[in-house]
Structure 1
Amino acid sequence: MLSQVEQSKTLSTLLVDDDRQFRTGIRTFLSLSQIQDRAINVIGEADHPALALSLTKEHTPDLILIDMELIEGDGLSLLQQLRDSNASSKTLVLSGHQEDYWIYQAMQLGANGYVFKGQVAQQLLDAIATVMQNQIYLPPEVATGFFRKFQKTQASLPSQLGQPCNLSERENDVLYWLVQGASNDEIAKQLYISVATVKVHLTNIFLKLQVTSRTQAIVVAIKMNLIQS
């Protein structure tokens, strides 16, 4: 058992995945890593929602890493049950599912972030650090899928005006391409402006939306319905 002082210096994590080999790999990877000078302590593993919920209630982990494919259920049902139980743990999806449906549903059910399994080595630690700072983690390739599904869903609803926002026409153009997952270079090419000008527009967009990152800007843009298809 870890002492109270030791616990304060660690990030308690629960692994929920039906693949034992994958869980072993993630456990090893996390054991060799730190987040903001905090060691990562895996306090348990589960392969089905009922066990995950039991371990969450028993240990109250800081973070739960969730696969979408589980035994006797799936990650979406687990996210729903965690939300219904008012669990305080942060939730980060690690999934091989890249379909828009899974991404959109997971975020709608309160996931704090979504990482494709093929990008775990490159993105997992950054994702964990981000969600533990009470921010949403969506790399561009995930955010794009979320937005595509969001657009389709909104198209089936009565037309609504976005919330008031004083973005200029050019800033709206930059924001549109940002949400599509475009890099600064790609935005510059699409709008026939310099990369330096793109950066200036992004700075203004961040200030007006009161965000500090590209991911946060995408999430706010979606929530405020600022982007029209």
Structure 2
Amino acid sequence: MRASIQIFSRNMIQNEMLAASISSATGLSCECIDVLPPAQGRAEIGQRMMLIDWQQLDGDSRWDALGDVLGDPMQTMDTILFNVPTGLDIERQALDRGVRGIFRQNQPLKLLMRGITAVLEGELWYSRRAISERLRQNQLTQASPKAASAGKEMLSAREREVLLLIAQGLSNDEVGDKLCISLSTVKKHLCNIYAKLKISNRIQAAFWAVQNLKN
């Protein structure tokens, strides 16, 4: 059975048009919903991605509502926010929560399809400015040499290779091709890396690698 993509928004005309375009572009089943399911419910249906309309979330409790959906950080790899207003603040908070991508209001449908495809392939979809800013912040607050050394020692040689490729922006499929290992093996390495470094998502893994494995 094909994996599901869900679109949360109460703008049903927009949803139906978007769902048809996504299904055509990805070949995956796509459905529209008007109630956000909890993280546990998402895991049970095994969906690949959820697109959430930022404008349809309650203004003062948007992140609380998203927290109920995101749940376990390991389940946030396929969450995208769309109809997001201009500004870096939302991008910063989304990065912290492991959201995979941000789409601005009134962006062309072609760009949206390109971004969704990229996220499905394991990439992030954020502005370069947001990613660059986060890298600079992490470089300024990087761990002590002792802590960094301990982290390196916990990782196997293969896990360090995976981390370096993730930091270069490669998708899981590309990492597998580069290292001649299966996609499931790449995912297993990532789970082990998250546990050893006490991090919760791919973004944090990339930042850790930039800080501690480049020198």
TM class, shorter-chain normalised? 0.5 to 0.7
**What is the CA–CA distance in structure 1 between the aligned matches of 2:59 and 2:33, rounded to whole Å?**
15
TM-score, structure 2 as length reference: 0.55
In structure 1, the partner of 2:16 is 27
- Show structure 2 runs of 5+ residues with no match: 150-161, 172-202
Q: Determine which structure has greater relative contact order: mean sequence separation of CA pairs < 8 Å that are 6+ residues apart, divided by chain length.
A: 2
Question: What are the within-5 Å matches in structure 2 for residues 49-128 of structure 1?
Answer: 51-53=35-37, 57=41, 60=45, 61-69=47-55, 70-71=57-58, 74-85=61-72, 88=75, 90-128=78-116
Offset at residue 132 of structure 1 (A):
2.4
**What is the CA–CA distance in structure 2 between the aligned matches of 1:96 and 1:150, rounded to whole Å?**
22
In structure 2, the partner of 1:13 is 5
In structure 1, the partner of 2:175 is none
Greater helix fraction, Structure 1 or Structure 2: 2
**What is the CA–CA distance in structure 1 between the aligned matches of 2:142 and 2:169, rounded to whole Å?**
28
Offset at residue 39 of structure 1 (A):
3.6
Percent of aligned pairs sharing the same letter: 12
Q: Does 1:41 align with 2:33?
A: no
SS in structure 2 at match of 1:119:
coil
SS in structure 2 at match of 1:138:
coil
Q: Does 1:147 align with 2:135?
A: no
**What is the CA–CA distance in structure 1 between the aligned matches of 2:83 and 2:208, rounded to whole Å?**
24
Contact 2:8–2:53 (8 Å) recurs in 1 = yes
Q: 1:98 to 1:130 in 2, by over 3 A?
A: same
Offset at residue 62 of structure 1 (A):
2.7
Offset at residue 213 of structure 1 (A):
6.7
Structure showing greater Rg: 1
- CA RMSD in angstroms comes to 4.3
Offset at residue 109 of structure 1 (A):
0.6
Greater strand fraction, Structure 1 or Structure 2: 1
Q: 1:132 to 1:100 in 2, by over 3 A?
A: same
Q: 1:113 to 1:31 in 2, by over 3 A?
A: same
Deviations 1:167-197 (A, max 9, x none): xxxxxxxxxxxxxxxxxxxxxxxxxxxxxxx
SS in structure 2 at match of 1:104:
helix
Deviations 1:62-97 (A, max 9, x none): 321123341265543233223435684621111322
Contact 1:68–1:74 (8 Å) recurs in 2 = no
- Show structure 1 runs of 5+ residues with no match: 1-7, 165-206
In structure 2, the partner of 1:179 is none
TM-score, structure 1 as length reference: 0.53
Offset at residue 138 of structure 1 (A):
1.9
Contact 1:31–1:39 (8 Å) recurs in 2 = no
